[in-house]
Amino acid sequence: MAPSKKQDDDLKKNVEMTEHKEDLGEMEKRLGTNYETGLTTKQVADLQAKWGENKLTPPPETHICIKFILELTDFFSLLLWGGGVLCFVGYGLEGAKDNLYLGIVLFFVVLATGIFSFVQNQKSDSLMKSFANMLPPKVLVMRDGKTGNEDAIKLVPGDIVLVNAGDLIPADMRILECSDNLTVDQASLTGENEAQKRRKECTHDDPLETQNLCFFGTQVPEGSCKGVVISIGDHTVMGRIAKLAMGTDKGQTPINKEIENFIHIISAIAIFLGISFLIINAVGGVPWITNLVFMIGIIVANVPEGLITTVTVCLTLTANRMHSKMVLVKNLEGVETLGSTSCICSDKTGTLTQNIMTVAQIVYGGKNGFSIEDCESSFSKAGATYDVENASFKALARCATLCNVSVFDENSKFETDNAGEFVLKNGEKVPVDFFRMREQGDGSVIREVAWKPVGNASEAAMIKFVHPISNVEAARAVAPPEAVIPFNSKNKYQVHVHVDPAYNDASTTASTPPEEIIAKNKGNRMVYMKGAPERILARCDKMMVDGKVVKMTAEDSKKIDALNMSLAENGLRVLAFCQATLDTRKFPPGYKYTADPDGYCSPNFPIGDFDMKYDAREKKHPNSDEGMVYLGMMALIDPPRPAVPPAVSKCKTAGIKVIMVTGDHPVTAQAIAYKVGILWSKTVGDMEKENDRDGLSPGDEGWQDPEQAQAIVVPGHTISVDMPEEKWDAILAHPQIVFARTSPQQKLVIVENCQRQGHIVAVTGDGVNDSPALKQADIGVAMGIMGSEVSKNAADMILLDDNFASIVAGVEEGRLIFDNLKKSICYTLTSNIPEISPFISQVLFQIPLPLSTILILGIDLGTDMVPAISMAYETAEADIMKRPPRNAKVDRLVTKKLINLAYLQIGIMQAMAGFYVYMVVLNDYGYPPHVLMGLGGNDYWGKQPTFCRFMGGQYVNVAGESNPTAATVGTAAPNVGVLTSGPDMDYPLWDRGDGGYVIDCEFPVMNFNGKGGSLANNAERMDSSKVNDHTAGESTYTYESVKALEARHYYEYVPWRARMSPFWDADWLYYDITEEEAPGGQFGDSVDSMFFSYQPIGMWSICMADSDLSSGKKGAGNRPAQEAKDQINAFDPSTVGCDSSTSMDADSQVWMFSEATFCNGDGRTTGCDSGQNLDGNWHMPNWCTQCGYLNKGTCSSTVDVNTMVPCANVASRMIQKEAQHHAQGAYFISIIVVQWADLLICKTRWLSLRSQGMKNSVMNFGLFFETLLGAWLCYQPGIQMGLGTRNIRFTHWLPGIPWSCLIFSYDEVRKYLMRTTSPESVDKASGQVIRLKGWLERNTYY
């Protein structure tokens, strides 16, 4: 649970404690403990019940089931769930299997995409138990007067704990006793890489600065101590920081915001159009189930169902690519966020630097006197300039070797396996080279020491520097120490007395025991001293120059001091070295060297005390006065990583502000900042110092105005959480910023203020001190090698090689993924227009639906998926790191310009291509474009026969032979005028002949709606007396409505061109109604509502049942086309048996009738074979022994219902249905063809395809994949059943190609004109490319 605002503000304040200032006696009473015996067992039990376990509360985790449910219930998914439910409802009410298939597909889509996203996100989750590793499993505790090992988790306040070198501090402790050399490594807490001295006295009011406290999770590299536990678990300083990290509101990532914004836009469009057309269709009288399914089609056409999967795959692929660059992405969206970054707040230690103390420069007396010489390091960016053969250098190196207790870990000198066991070769351990080369994520290689040093970081740096020059271990082996004075904060020096190996016995080797060497060496001894430069220099009266000892003058001392200051100003930690030779005449063999001889306060050997002042009560030993010989200095620093300066430079070019935020000293931080390029001009402090040094005031010549400084170094003590925003704004207005000596709480506030200014902030860090800021940042980047587990848990990504330069690679990848997501979305959205326009056209123009809902899903989740995903593999365009950071308020993932290009430009051209192909196919199968309007309304297409007027042409049989006895037409010659007679069963097909054409077409008016209920089986459906006026509540056409059409010369249309199609089936002329037509079709076991909503197998006559037309109900349930209304209005019912002066319409509204007589030629209904002669009509079924065109000889006008069955002529509607399936399949293929061009133009947003090239092998595969998949969906028989596709002709693939070429050419010209009208210039100050946007770029660059 996140903390309240008050709690959050409290957490952001610096640590407030008083235990470090509390009297130890008072503390002992308050805690109820005993410093000598510890707590009692009963006290421990009581305190454990009160305080709980000594562990940090782990971060909360969302249950895996909740995560899965969330993946299935995003807004797109909810739309599709709702659509699927409506499809199942429609299937339940009407039995249309198309609705069943669509519902199943929609449900499958949601489940498949949800499962995929869930699996990908689960893979990316870092399931680290972040805090367990901070707690040592066992700790030495004193209880009941006895000391023993206890589980650290069971510690309680008041426990007395003993800690030794190498141990982790198990809880916050107040030191009771400690060794002089006790140090604590607080890098994980404060960011300082130097171990901090500890003592039992309070030395500072700030608990983080005082030396008498040790904090949970820190480490003891040297020394030992006894302490009392003052806080455990969440109550420790570390626990407080961890709580702050967990309680920080992370907020949405930019890519999440963009995707949500995109979903809202697309969903709003989908819902608006869906509801709009729902209302339009409802007003038009479309059945509500049909209307709802139509609305589903509108929504499905608008919603890019594969988008979320595409985004997830793109992010995952990018994350995998980044992993190869040593960047582990925990949060997939974090990749893109890094690309949006406008500000990087970076820790120094271990991030910009190597977190390895290194000797950067040295000073010794060479041939030309004392001078600064460079060592090989990334700090100096130069090779070594010192002379390894110079005697003075050798003396300095020898002193650094012997006055030093740091050693190399023996285990690190040999190869080990993954289990930590030594690798053996021929029974011997395999040695490891001193140096090794390590490749970093950016491809650069750094040289590092493979042997692990143990001990103080500064001393470790010295032996790593000396060892390649002179074997440290060999030098120490032959020169053992006789006395050691450890370093302490009071004296600030360290002293060793060693034998001089020049006087060793001839038999001495490296394996000779130290005691034996000392006993046999009868020569001089050497005193070696190192320490603070000012302390060492003050103890020297001589110096070594070019191997010779000479007297040190005041001028020499001043010069050496100046060199020291020069090193210190560069942020280097400087140690000076000196030595003295102990003559055997004064210090004979066997002399007992001691630091505090009886009665004296100084050692009994020379340490340069000649000018030292002691307390009057203390007596100095006379031997300590002898002056020392000054050898030189070593300057140490944690050097910057070699790859960091160019990485920072690249950030500046890309317009990204890099801010250093560190717990280190301001001088050191400033020096590193200059080295890596975060600072490059004078700071405010530098200007103030120079003004003071030169005595300048405002108005004086040469005075520098600090307010005009571009750089600033801000110490942590000058800022606070309560500081007004105006002051923060003034600080953050500087382009070059370093924050030094910052606390974890201050780092968090710095990040918040950067975000307040509108920055997308990335924070890098490795310590626990960084974790709150890592959590608060838009993107948190932790260090994989040196990083604490807490920081890794708080971060979104982890640099496995701890290399800041990898962040720049991440920025480029982030920008690339945003670019590629834009391209992928643009590619995906363009097909929305050709997907939705068929539905809009069907409503507006009443044409047969050009594209089905399931085929839309075939595009979105099939053919478009791989090409859309292939965008993730697209390489960056040349200018990607020259652009300024993305402005999240303006440069959205989906912009108006992208919508404009995708929908109103490319999308419209694609839709035009689709409609063109659709009309070509229907025209090829007998339905020219001009007759289509009006035929797609009311769901008649493919269900009812079409009636058309023909100008010329002729009726032909299945073989294409015309009727030789055909009468002339109208008053014109045959084949020229309007046909005035209809087809018959021998010549059922119309052929255009020479110049004939279809004038227009209509469906018969549905003007009869009979009784509801159901018929038991097909036998009853074939019995006219059973059917009678039964229509299962469905409206159907009648004999009268057909006659009304024929009176206007509209005749049933069976196109000859369809006869020449691949789908023609002559059996349609004699179809067995007991056979299942197709899934969702009329015949077979279809439900009554489905059976009677199709072409009737017979004919209803209204006039036979209701001659005075009294059952008419004006306009009820019928919305015929206007042309059909005119036909009914002009029709005289008396010509077909109704009473004279009757009418089937009134006020231009067609009447719906509820009484009619059904005839189908079975002879069971009286009157069907007389008067109107329905039984002999072309529209009636043929009664045959066996149905089928080849069995038409078994048909007879004499019907025996026991041996014969009705064979329906369904050719007209089946041709409609099949022609539409072919046209829809061709429309589907045309989208694939134009998507070829769309994919190519979406490869780039700025460059020409010629510049970008076709190197994306995945995209090249995607082009083949979508083509092959489209072909498979069209030509695979099993798939055709569900998708409604057919084996379309090869020639119907071709009409879309010219449109594809048009789209490609259009966009290439657009980009060319955009580039030529947007000139570029380079800002000389920053190197950033500035582009003056032309009209085309402002309006079309998405």
**What residues contact residue 763 under an 8 Å CB cut-off, 6+ apart?**
344, 345, 346, 661, 747, 751, 770, 773, 774, 776, 777, 779, 780, 781
Angle at Cα 1333 formed by Cα 1327 and Cα 1337, nearest 5°?
A: 125
DSSP-derived 3-state class of residue 1039: helix
Q: Label residue 959 exposed, middle or buried (CB < 10 Å: 0-12, 13-18, 19+).
A: exposed
Cα torsion for 351, 357, 361, 365, to the nearest 10°? 170
CB distance 1027 to 1158 below 8 Å: yes
- CA dist 183 and 166 (Å) reads 11
CB distance 1300 to 1234 below 8 Å: yes
Closest among 823, 800, 799 to 873, alpha carbons compared: 823
CB distance 980 to 1004 below 8 Å: no
CB distance 254 to 262 below 8 Å: no
Closest among 1256, 1262, 1234, 1232 to 1243, alpha carbons compared: 1256
- CA dist 129 and 846 (Å) reads 63
Strand 1205-1208 relative to strand 1182-1184, pairing: antiparallel
DSSP-derived 3-state class of residue 1151: strand
496 forms beta bridges with 484, 528
- CA dist 213 and 217 (Å) reads 13
CB distance 946 to 935 below 8 Å: yes
- CA dist 752 and 1172 (Å) reads 90
Strand 797-799 relative to strand 779-783, pairing: parallel
Active site residue 347: yes
Closest among 800, 822, 807 to 877, alpha carbons compared: 822
Closest among 886, 810, 874, 819 to 338, alpha carbons compared: 810
CB distance 160 to 228 below 8 Å: yes
Closest among 513, 618, 527, 617 to 579, alpha carbons compared: 527
- Catalytic residue, chosen from 98, 167, 172, 347, is 347
CA atoms within 13 A on the CB side of 523: 14
Angle between helices 666-676 and 644-653 (to 10 degrees): 70
Closest among 764, 759, 697, 491 to 601, alpha carbons compared: 491
Residue type, 523: G
Strand 736-740 relative to strand 711-715, pairing: parallel
Which residues are annotated as catalytic? 347
